[in-house]
Chains A and B, each alone.
Chain A
Amino acid sequence: MTTRARVLDALGSVHDPELDEPITELGFVTSCEVTFDGDVDIVLRLPTPQCAPNFAYLMAADARKAVRRLTAIRRVTVTLEDHYTGDEINAAVARGEGFTVAFPGETDDDDLDALRELFHRKALLARQSRLCEALLASGATAEEMCTSRVADLPDVPDARRCLELRRDLGIPREDASPAFVLPSGEPLAACNLERWLRTARLVRTGLEVNGGICRSLLQIRHGLAADPEEVPT
């Protein structure tokens, strides 16, 4: 694997905090250059210059963090382009400072952390439901859904992402842990499955629709080809 491929791979682990989709798949990575000496220059872009600065900051900071973890990398520069608070965000990210420092007196990191946790919970619900619906469609019963374990989950992107989200939320994710959980970590009860799915579908629709609008606006802004209207992975 080339260094650039490793960097791109690392960027693929960075998610839009609200949409819970990789920034690479959303088209937010404009360019990624790696010099022979291992200096990395990443340029990010968002659907509009007015996209929420807090989310913009999180993605830029996460991108830098993910790439700096790699071996054989020297300097990492992340630049958010064409954003109305780009200068403030870029400076704060480069110095490894928090969002609060980027906008002194205007923000509070605690709120941002709480928001991130809320998004994680929603993303977990949405992804679990997609997994669950696929399993039900292939013949599994409601009872089986509620008694299945993490080890029973198929090795697909949604399942892998669910486990990452459970890790971040502090919800057990051992092989013997329940495959489908409520926000409290408790297993789902079969009698609640239908209502749970109905709610989860709404949350999922919200995420997918927002992702759709973001993609469309990004395509318009940068003259990119339209993507097929499919459910994101």
Chain B
Amino acid sequence: MGFVGIHWRGIAEYIGGGPIDRWTEGVDMYERDGEKYFVVDGHVHFWDASPANWVPGQEQYAKGWIECFHAYMALGPEETHWPLEKFQKYSEEDFVKDVFQDGHVDAGIFQPTYLKEWYREGFNTLETNAKLVEKHPDRLIANGRWDPREGDAGLKQLEEDAKRHNLQGVKLYTAEWRDGSRGWSLKDPEAQVFLERCQELGIKNIHVHKGPTIWPLDKDAFDVADVDYCATNNPELNFIVEHVGLPRIEDFCFIATQEPNVYAGLAVVIGGLMHARPRFFSKVMGELLFWVGEDKMLFASDYAIWEPKWQVEGFVDWDYPDEEYSDYPAVTTATKKKILGLNAAELYGIEVPQELRLPAEAGTPAAREDAQLAGDAT
């Protein structure tokens, strides 16, 4: 079977006459036990952390950062580990093979990470990602970024990026340091200006990184309360909390229960736990299914920290290990189809082939009302 073409809103005008994708020929949908899954990987990277890209004088940070990522890779199955040298810089061919050919991914979403203080050309920028999107326009989406502290210049850049790259989403790092400022909050009035501009530009999906930071910090960089605030004020935008707020998963869950436009990005949850800590993985998934619900959870591999292949296959085969977990919402094939791709396809307007969609009534939403009740108890 040839690759089943996918298209998203507005794409036709800019892929017209685009290159034929020689790698996607002969790729099949992931199929298991007679069920076919449409996979959207909500968090992929194409980075360059090789020594040639390190900023002179900042080598220890550039080196430390990528080595820290590399340690995370070791949480996956041993046969998927890479040597550090390959991990620092992998090829386009590696990406295509690991993500599309072997990884079962039908569409991938690039989340940029600039880190230009440490990496001369940036760690993983929109510009670099866009070059890959040009070559695989039917398989990849590039998201942009903004920082409210950049003011008018930042707004102008966002507009240019949005037009040039047809942006549908952005990735934000609230804990990033800049010119003596120790991070920012989505509650800042300046951030609201950018959020409104996003809406005008058709950028609907706001991915917010909530997780470990790399500078001395007194502020609580893990705090997710600002997401609550801006999700309420911007109901037309979707807020995807990457890494589900780890280590503040409970705060994230309480927010997601109350805000219909807050989603869970599963990067690190699957890659970091499913293999290394399978029982904890099941607990986290059970909690997320209970509080957030299967309609608002998005699969993400965080490639190249982890390859998608083992994550997709393992997740399709996953279920709670024993009766200790009987209190959590049931996991069905429909649950997995939604999380692996259908939910993200909806957010990004990706057209899913008919045979891979769910019948309208399929799947019971997780126990939202129960979650609401329990949330009130805090």
Interface majority SS on B: helix, strand, loop or mixed?
A: helix
Report chain A residues within 8 Å CB of B64.
49-50, 84
Asked whether A229 and B280 contact (CB < 8 A) given A49-B64, A213-B273, the answer is yes
CA distance A216 to B370 in the complex (A): 33
A229 touching B377 by the CB < 8 A rule? Answer: no
Query: Would you give 28 A-B contacts (Cβ < 8 Å), ordered by A?
Result: A48-B71, A49-B64, A49-B68, A50-B64, A50-B68, A54-B216, A84-B60, A85-B216, A88-B216, A111-B218, A111-B219, A118-B220, A122-B250, A195-B374, A198-B377, A199-B250, A199-B375, A199-B378, A202-B250, A205-B250, A206-B249, A206-B250, A209-B247, A210-B246, A210-B247, A213-B246, A216-B75, A217-B75
CA distance A100 to B370 in the complex (A): 43
What does the 1/0 interface line of A69-94 toward B look like (CB < 8 Å)? Answer: 00000000000000011001000000
- CB of B291 within 8 Å of the partner chain: yes
List A residues 39-63 near B (Cβ within 8 Å): 48-54
A202 touching B291 by the CB < 8 A rule? Answer: yes
A220 touching B74 by the CB < 8 A rule? Answer: yes
What band does the interface of chain A fall in when counting residues whose beta carbon is under 8 Å from B?
Answer: 35 or more
Interface majority SS on A: helix, strand, loop or mixed?
A: helix
Report chain A residues within 8 Å CB of B376.
195
Tell me the nearest residue of chain B to A109, going by C-beta: B218
A202 touching B218 by the CB < 8 A rule? Answer: no
- CB of B278 within 8 Å of the partner chain: yes
CA distance A229 to B249 in the complex (A): 20
Seen from chain A, the residues whose Cβ lies within 8 Å of a Cβ on chain B are: 18, 48-54, 84-85, 88, 99-100, 102-103, 106-109, 111-112, 115, 118, 122, 192, 195-196, 198-199, 201-203, 205-206, 208-210, 212-213, 216-217, 220-221, 229
B279 touching A203 by the CB < 8 A rule? Answer: no
Report chain A residues within 8 Å CB of B375.
199
- CB of B182 within 8 Å of the partner chain: yes
B220 touching A115 by the CB < 8 A rule? Answer: yes
Tell me the nearest residue of chain A to B374, going by C-beta: A198
A50 touching B246 by the CB < 8 A rule? Answer: no
Report chain B residues within 8 Å CB of A115.
220
Q: Given A54-B217, A107-B217, 18 other A-B contacts at CB below 8 A?
A: A48-B68, A49-B67, A50-B212, A51-B212, A53-B216, A88-B216, A102-B216, A108-B218, A111-B218, A111-B220, A195-B373, A195-B377, A202-B250, A206-B246, A206-B248, A213-B246, A213-B277, A229-B277
